[in-house]
Amino acid sequence: GEYIGIIGGGQLGRMMADEAHDLGFKVVVLDPDENAPLCQVADARIIADYGDQAAVAKLAQMAKVVTYEFENVDAAVLAACEAERRLFPNTRLLSISQDRIQEKATFRALGLRTADYLAVTGVQGEPWTQVARFPVIVKTARGGYDGHGQRICGSAQELQGVLEEWRDISVVVEQVVPFDKEVSVVLSRDQGGQIVDFGLIENHHRNGILDFSISPAPVAPIVRERATSYAYRLAIELDLVGTMAVEFFVIGDDVLVNEMAPRPHNSGHLTIEAFEYSQFAQHIRAVAGLPLGQTRQLSAAAMANLLGDIWTASDQPNFSAALAIPSTHLHLYGKATPRPARKMGHLTVLADSPNTALRRADQARRALTGP
Ligand code: ATP
Ligand code: MG
Ligand code: MG
Identify the domain boundary among 69, 87, 105. 87
In a domain, 206, yes or no: yes
Residue 265 assigned as binding residue: no
Coil, strand or helix at 41:
coil
Residues 15 and 60 in one domain: yes
pLDDT tens, residue by residue, 250-269: 999 999 999 999 999 999 99
**CATH code: domain of residue 80:** 3.40.50.20
With residue 215 as reference, give the H or E element that holds it. strand 209-215
User: What number does the ligand 1 atom closest to the CA of 247 have?
Assistant: 10
pLDDT tens, residue by residue, 173-193: 999 999 999 999 999 999 999
Percent of the chain with pLDDT over 70: 99
In a domain, 93, yes or no: no
Amino acid at 61: Q
Instruction: Please check whether residue 165 is in contact with residue 149, taking contact to mean a CB–CB distance below 8 angstroms.
Output: no
Question: Any bridge partners for residue 306, and if so which?
Answer: 345
Residues 16 and 162 in one domain: no
In a domain, 106, yes or no: no
Identify the domain boundary among 153, 175, 197. 175
**CATH code: domain of residue 122:** 3.30.1490.20
Ligand nearest to the CA of 144: 1
Coil, strand or helix at 334:
coil
Residues 199 and 226 in one domain: yes
Residues 314 and 260 in one domain: yes
Cα(39) to ligand 3 centroid in Å equals: 26
Residue 19 assigned as binding residue: no
The protein residue with its alpha carbon nearest to ligand 1, atom 2, reads 146
In a domain, 107, yes or no: no
pLDDT tens, residue by residue, 45-69: 999 999 899 999 999 999 999 999 9
The protein residue with its alpha carbon nearest to ligand 1, atom 20, reads 205
Give the span between the Cα atoms of 261 and 156, in whole angstroms: 31
**Least confident residue range of 81-90, 202-211, 277-286, 350-359:** 81-90
pLDDT tens, residue by residue, 192-248: 999 999 999 999 999 999 999 999 999 999 999 999 999 999 999 999 999 999 999
Q: Are strands 150-153 and 181-189 parallel, antiparallel or unpaired?
A: unpaired
Give the span between the Cα atoms of 51 and 285, in whole angstroms: 27
Residue 283 assigned as binding residue: no
Which of 96, 137, 152, 201 most suits a substitution to test ligand 1, by most atoms within 8 Å of the C-beta? 137
What b/e string do you get for 227-243 counting C-beta neighbours within 10 Å, with b at 16 or more? bbebbbbbbeebebbbb
pLDDT of residue 312: 84
Residues 306 and 236 in one domain: yes
Residue 160 assigned as binding residue: no
- pLDDT band at residue 354, thresholds of 50, 70 and 90? very high
What residues make up the domain containing 231?
A: 181-368
Residues 73 and 138 in one domain: no
Which of 133, 258, 269, 305 most suits a substitution to test ligand 1, by most atoms within 8 Å of the C-beta? 258
Q: Beta-carbon neighbour count of residue 370 at 10 Å?
A: 10
Ion ligand 3 — residues with CB < 5 Å: 247
In a domain, 288, yes or no: yes
In a domain, 220, yes or no: yes
Q: Measure the N-to-C terminal CA separation of the chain; round to a whole number of Å.
A: 48
Residues 67 and 194 in one domain: no
Residues 239 and 346 in one domain: yes
pLDDT tens, residue by residue, 97-153: 999 999 999 999 999 999 999 999 876 656 677 777 899 999 999 999 988 999 999
Instruction: Please check whether residue 262 is in contact with residue 244, taking contact to mean a CB–CB distance below 8 angstroms.
Output: yes
In a domain, 352, yes or no: yes
Residues 284 and 339 in one domain: yes
Residues 63 and 158 in one domain: no
Identify the domain boundary among 43, 69, 87. 87
Residues 233 and 295 in one domain: yes
Ligand nearest to the CA of 150: 1
Residues 244 and 123 in one domain: no
71: left (phi over 0), alpha (psi -120 to 50) or beta: alpha
Number of structural domains in the chain: 3
Ligand nearest to the CA of 203: 1
With vertex at residue 207, the alpha carbon angle to CA 122 and CA 15, rounded to the nearest 5 degrees, is 100
The protein residue with its alpha carbon nearest to ligand 1, atom 21, reads 208
**CATH code: domain of residue 305:** 3.30.470.20
Taking the whole predicted model, whether its pTM rises above 0.95 is answered as yes
What residue ranges line ligand 1, CB within 6 angstroms? 115, 137, 139, 144-148, 174-177, 182, 205, 208, 247, 258-259
Which of 150, 172, 202 most suits a substitution to test ligand 1, by most atoms within 8 Å of the C-beta? 150
What are the φ and ψ backbone dihedral angles of 305, each rounded to 5 degrees? -75, 145
User: Is the model's pLDDT at 84 over the cut of 90?
Assistant: no
In a domain, 69, yes or no: yes
What b/e string do you get for 94-125 counting C-beta neighbours within 10 Å, with b at 16 or more? bbbbbbbbbbbebbeeeebebbebbbbeeeeb
pLDDT of residue 123: 67
Environment class of residue 161 by beta-carbon count within 10 Å: exposed (0-12), middle (13-18) or buried (19+)?
middle
User: What number does the ligand 1 atom closest to the CA of 148 have?
Assistant: 6
